[in-house]
Amino acid sequence: MTETVVSVGLAVEEHLQIKKQVLSPVHPTGKEKRFCVVTGTHGDELEGQYVCWEVNRRIQENIHQLKGIVEIYPALNPLGVDSITRGVPGFDLDMNRVFPGEGENTMPEYVAHQIISDIQGASMCIDIHASNIFLREIPQVRINVNSAKELIPYARKINVDFLWVHGAATVLESTLAYSLNAIGVPTLVVEMGVGMRITEEFGHQLTDGIFALMKEMGIWEGETIEPKEPIICMDSEVGFLNANCPGIFLPCVKHWMNVKEGELIGRILNPLTGQVAEEVRSPMDGVLFTLREYPVVSPGSLLARVSDRKTLLRGGGKDGNLIRLDSAHKEERTQ
């Protein structure tokens, strides 16, 4: 059943409408858990559109296996999706910087407020994002360190390759995920793929994980995969590679592969002089989980991210606690 979450009048007798698909059990009891899948907060991030379609399709073809309520929000920023714009057209505003919003304010803040109110009370929310047009990301969950203890057990069931725990200072309080976690709705932020594109392989991987998590929560009774064990990484275990000069970046390694410290990642070429302006090398032994997709670079442009290989070997531990290394490389646990 399709429902309208919020409708706002626009110019020329048009309306901004945010809709959701509500899928319910054949024989509801009134005590069902709610599981929300949201995407389209940024209009140029389309990877989640395929996931919404695939989740919808699988449930409708096996509706008798559904034991909870699944709500699918394909476009929280429909104007951005329609115009291939990251933010809200006409407001020069990032939709993911206005949550939790206000009931009586600008249109984006009002819409954000209505979205939060609609999702409130859910048992779980998956907030799907893609990268921008410049970078390609492996399927990963990003978590605020303050929410790590609660969210890591869920994140390990969702079949992603990588789990990145950010320090509190790097997580914006104005995001949808932060606002939902603050009101007691466990929310996982998934990043994968590249902007303005759909990677079917990643879409199927995440969809499999969503069903595995729903089964763990008692929302789905059908067959599911065994989720892969993700790499779990802290901010301090990530190496960033940035361009030192302008030019054309050509990688010589593949995305999501092991690299060694000092190994050549790619070259920045100067088309004007015909010279290699810079050789880009890995700062550590690790796994290349972010790689630049758009070749034109300027000084400071992000080229790649590498996760410390020690994180790969530890795999985050089996008890759901976060394992990291201090400056002396001694293993310690963060509860």
Tell me the per-residue pLDDT of 15-26, one tens digit each, with 9 for 90 and over. Answer: 899 999 999 999
pLDDT greater at residue 295 or residue 328? 295
Q: pLDDT at residue 252 above 80?
A: yes
Strands (E), 174-263: 187-193, 231-234, 238-242, 247-251, 258-259
pLDDT greater at residue 332 or residue 170? 170
- What mean pLDDT do residues 42-51 have? 97
Tokens standing for residue 87: 């933010």
Most confident residue range from 85-89, 166-170, 218-222: 218-222
Coil vs helix vs strand at 2: strand
Please state, in angstroms and rounded to a whole number, the distance separating the CA atoms of residues 83 and 80: 5
CB atoms closer than 10 angstroms to residue 204: 14
pLDDT value at residue 333: 31
CA distances from 150 to 147, 217, 306, 329 (A): 6, 14, 26, 26
pLDDT value at residue 127: 98
- What per-residue string of b and e applies to 143-178 under the rule 16 or more CB within 10 Å gives b? bbbebbeebbebbbbbbbbbbbbbeeeebeeebbbb
DSSP 6-67: EEEE-GGG-EEEEEEEEE--SS--S---EEEEE--SSTT--HHHHHHHHHHHHHHHTGGGB-
Q: pLDDT at residue 1 above 50?
A: yes
pLDDT value at residue 8: 94
pLDDT value at residue 14: 86
pLDDT, the chain, mean = 91
Q: Which amino acid is at 284?
A: M
Tokens standing for residue 148: 């790590």
Evaluate whether 39 touches 127 at the Cβ level (below 8 Å): yes
Please state the φ and ψ torsions of residue 66, each to the nearest 5 degrees. -85, 125
Tokens standing for residue 285: 């032994």
Full-model pTM: 0.91
Smallest CA-to-CA distance from 50 within 153, 139, 178, 164 is with 139
Enumerate the H helices of the chain as residue ranges.
47-61, 78-83, 107-119, 148-155, 176-182, 200-216, 309-314
pLDDT greater at residue 169 or residue 72? 72
Residue position matching structure tokens 């899928």: 23
- What mean pLDDT do residues 34-41 have? 98
Q: Using CA atoms in the order 147, 150, 156, 157, what is the torsion angle rounded to 10 degrees? A: -130
- What mean pLDDT do residues 97-124 have? 94
Q: pLDDT at residue 67 above 60?
A: yes
pLDDT value at residue 170: 61
- What mean pLDDT do residues 39-43 have? 97
| Percent of the chain scoring above 70 in pLDDT | 91
pLDDT value at residue 319: 42
35 bridge partner residues? 70, 124
Residue position matching structure tokens 């009048």: 9
Smallest CA-to-CA distance from 77 within 38, 37, 21 is with 38
Q: pLDDT at residue 272 above 60?
A: yes
- What mean pLDDT do residues 217-230 have? 97
Among 135-139, 268-272, 313-317, which is the least confidently predicted range?
313-317
pLDDT value at residue 274: 98
Residue position matching structure tokens 């963060």: 334
* Residue 105 pLDDT class (50, 70, 90 cuts): confident
- What mean pLDDT do residues 119-133 have? 97
* Residue 81 pLDDT class (50, 70, 90 cuts): very high
Q: Give kind and range of the element (H or E) at residue 302.
A: strand 302-308
